[in-house]
Structure 1
Amino acid sequence: MNNPALDALTAAGLEHRVIQHGPVRSLAEAAAARGVEIPDVVKTIVVRRGDDDYLFALVPGDRVISWPKLRALLGVSRLSMPDAATAKEATGYERGTITPFGSVKPWPVIADERLRGRTVTLGAGEHGVAVAVGADATVEALDGAYADITDPSPEPA
Structure 2
Amino acid sequence: MKTWWLRLYHRVDPLLTAWMARHGITLLRISLGVVFFWFGVLKFFPGLSPAEGLATRTITTLSLGLLSADAARILLATLETLIGLGLMVGLYLRATLFLLFFQMLGTITPIFLFPAEVFYRIPYAPTLEGQYIFKNMVLISAGLVIGATVRGGRLVAEPLPSERREG
Same fold at TM > 0.5: no
TM-score range, shorter chain: under 0.3
Give 1 or 2: higher strand fraction: 1
Q: Structure with the greater relative contact order (CA < 8 A, sep ≥ 6): 1 or 2?
A: 1
- Using structure 2 for the length normalisation, give the TM-score: 0.25
- Using structure 1 for the length normalisation, give the TM-score: 0.26
